[in-house]
Amino acid sequence: MAPPPFLTSPEQYKELFDSVDTFLLDCDGVIYHGPVVVEGVKTVLQLMRDAGKKIIFVTNNATKSRKMYKTTFDKLGIEAYEEEIFGSAYASAVYMSRILNFPKDKRVYVLGEKGLEDELDAVGIQRCGGTDPEDRVFIPSMDFSHFPADPTIGAVLCGFDSGINYKKLGKAYSYLRDDPNVHFLLTNQDRVFPTSGTTYPGSGSLSAPLVFALQGKREPTVIGKPNKHMMDAIIAEHHFDPKRALMVGDNLLTDIAFGLGSDVRTLLVMGGVTHKDQVYGPEPSDIRPTFVVESLGDFAVLAKN
């Protein structure tokens, strides 16, 4: 199979740009690296708006709500609107409320940050755990009396959690172990996340102890990229033609697989978590993007033409 085309010329950029009505844009690694906006990206986003393109920021980062992401974009000087932002925290809340019809009398035990809690609050789902200081206290004495049964728990939802500890894992495991009716949900399974030119363990790595402990007994439902749950939710809310859309991302396993799994063309950008040898090396990945480019900012050259 021939390798995907690596776009380098203004003519190639324009041909692709003109063929797209809806741009689905990953954030970390595509729009910015940590606190630094990718060079040329602001110009490219303005080109999209001037051309009447629909922009949807699609991120697996579950630590932030749409409102928090809007604040981040504002601080970076990036024009964005809450309705354009679709993170795995929001997608998880939508999935629980609309698809699962999560009972009003049940609570979800959260392994996650405030952004995930905010999105659950917005759809009226009761929660516990998360940023609760009581559950962010590690138990060095291994006192298992801290893990009592709780019949009010209807789901365990795992996202990125900087306060992860054995107490949280123990509680989540006991709820899932003891009641097969408790839903097991992951916002995403990202192994790592990119920031400031390097990577650190992602949500998937933090939820791995639960997945491993429950192996053979419970399989989690994963909401975020690359799973189709998220694409279905996005299309239902934004009503676009997948054939005229483009998923832009830096991660083969999440962004590119996400687009390909929903028959959406994909554009892989370098500089994130994927290296060129994974696409063009002697043993390339089975996940093959439709197109490859060095940076989304490269499309800024179209502003000069």
**Of residues 298, 292, 302, the one with CA closest to residue 38:** 298
Is 26 a catalytic site residue?
yes
The response to whether 250 counts as a known ligand-binding position is: yes
Catalytic residue among 26, 135, 161, 255: 26
**Of residues 252, 258, 249, 245, the one with CA closest to residue 287:** 252
- Cα of first residue to Cα of last residue in the chain, in angstroms, is 34
Is 28 a catalytic site residue?
yes
The response to whether 225 counts as a known ligand-binding position is: yes
For residues 291 and 7, the answer to whether their CB atoms sit within 8 Å is: yes
The strand pairing partners of 85, in sequence order, are 57
Residues 28 and 60: their CA atoms lie apart, in Å, by: 9
For residues 291 and 268, the answer to whether their CB atoms sit within 8 Å is: yes
DSSP readout, 219-236? Answer: -PEE-STTSHHHHHHHHH
Spatial neighbors of 71 by CB under 8 A, at least 6 apart, are none
Catalytic residue among 28, 135, 161, 190: 28
Residues 75 and 153: their CA atoms lie apart, in Å, by: 38
Residue 230 CA: distances (Å) to CA of 81, 93, 187, 235, 241: 19, 11, 10, 9, 16
For residues 175 and 214, the answer to whether their CB atoms sit within 8 Å is: no
The response to whether 161 counts as a known ligand-binding position is: no
The response to whether 26 counts as a known ligand-binding position is: yes
Local structure of residue 28 (DSSP, 8 states): B
For residues 23 and 264, the answer to whether their CB atoms sit within 8 Å is: no
Binding site as annotated, residues for Mg(2+) = 26, 28, 250
Give me the active site residues, please.
26, 28
Output the known binding site for substrate.
225
Binding residues: 26, 28, 225, 250
